[in-house]
Amino acid sequence: MGTLQSSTRAFGSVRRYIQGPGEIDNLKNYTKPLGSKVYALISTGLFTTLKARLEKIYTEESDCLFFDEFSGEITYAKLDEKTANARNFGAELIVAAGGGKVVDAAKIIAKENGIPVVLIPTIASTDAPVASMSAVFNDAGEQQGIVLFQDCPDIVLVDSELIAQAPVRYFIAGVGDALATCFEAKLSAMSDSPNFVSGGKRFTLAGMAICEACEKTIMEKAEAAVLAVRQQLCTPDVEDVIEANTLLSGLGFINVGLCGAHATNTGLTVLTETQGTLHGELVAFGIIVQRVVEQRPLEEIAGLISFMRRIGLPTTLEELGVHEMTEEMLDRVTTKALSGFWKRYPYYVSKKSLGDAIMMADALGHKYSN
């Protein structure tokens, strides 16, 4: 993750991004050019509903559909099982519907089988659908590794009605994930770290512009969008924030880079106390930690925390499930965090300074939570 030794720039993108109300009903039109034998991976909570919907969409090709259910963590053992299922079926493409775990798993399954992948996120909680990488965990929920791909997914199909009808907590978590995009991108660019395109190249102006558009959209429209989703409404603000959470955030981070917020998220996953917490909620707290490490002005951090509180994002360790952070726990968190994207920070970060920043972020979260 060190400084680049080349001036070559690169920009990567999903081949097709399609977003709109009821767009899932047009799925067959989008998948037809890619193949006819469809391996459909669907999250457990939506399996019955979406299986029936896909069977209706592919009513004339029902014998060319294989449905597989996905639940729990993305583990290497589970990936091996699902990859074999797709191969044995003779799948020509993968269609995956669900949250970040399902789409991340589908990307790996598609890569292992050498076939296209079409992703249908049913929540806007992360930018995973667009990203050219997947995270792998163990059964306890601790992140075990990152799988990088040469290309982004073939098609990301977002039915905004499905997103607006999902529990609002997922939408809010997506705002947290997206909010980190520009903060992290600027630091990754400052340290001249490689992006995630073609083995790692310098960021393009287009990539940074997308990060800035993501931040602007979140800051201006997320509050109204969250209010609308609480009522299961799909307003123009909701559409814009769905795009920011999914497309802008995803393209932003793969084309420029990640840094302290996501590294802190990874560190916090080692704690059993955080296992009920969503990715974007951990990242949101990681943003505060990163801003403390950057020594940003207190009024700036206070304003950020106030915005996050209005959105409904966690700003304290207690809200992440950690009611007491012992020295041993903090040591494990900082060790894991510093092994990852904190290496992209422009300056040296020690375990002590990061640990202090985590506890200071928690103190600020409490101070400005009212």
pLDDT tens-place string over residues 16-53: 999 999 999 999 999 999 999 999 999 998 999 999 99
Residue ranges, comma separated, of all CATH 1.20.1090.10 domains in the chain are: 168-367
Note the pLDDT tens digit of each residue in 71-97.
Answer: 999 999 999 999 999 999 999 999 999
Note the pLDDT tens digit of each residue in 348-368.
Answer: 999 999 999 999 999 999 999
How far apart are alpha carbons 251 and 108 in whole angstroms? Answer: 19
How far apart are alpha carbons 284 and 265 in whole angstroms? Answer: 8
Residue ranges, comma separated, of all CATH 3.40.50.1970 domains in the chain are: 16-165
Q: Are 38 and 95 in contact (CB under 8 A)?
A: yes
Structure tokens at 139: 């059964």
Domain at 16-165: CATH code: 3.40.50.1970
Domain at 168-367: CATH code: 1.20.1090.10
Letter string b/e over residues 78-114, b meaning 16 or more CB atoms within 10 A of that residue's CB: bbeebbeebeebebbbbbbbbbbbbbbbbbbbbbbbe
pLDDT for the residue 1: 53
Beta bridge partners of 67: 40
pTM exceeds cut of 0.85 = yes
Give φ, ψ of 360 to 5 degrees.
Answer: -70, -40
Note the pLDDT tens digit of each residue in 257-302.
Answer: 999 999 999 999 999 999 999 999 999 999 999 999 999 999 999 9
Residue 370 has pLDDT above 80, yes or no: no
Residue 3 has pLDDT above 80, yes or no: no
Percent of the chain with pLDDT strictly greater than 90: 89
Q: How far apart are the first and last CA of the chain?
A: 39
295 CB contacts (<8 Å, ≥6 apart)? none
Mean pLDDT value across the chain:
95
pLDDT for the residue 62: 65
Note the pLDDT tens digit of each residue in 161-194.
Answer: 999 999 999 999 999 999 999 999 999 999 999 9
38 CB contacts (<8 Å, ≥6 apart)? 31, 58, 61, 64, 65, 66, 91, 92, 93, 94, 95
How far apart are alpha carbons 333 and 314 in whole angstroms? Answer: 18
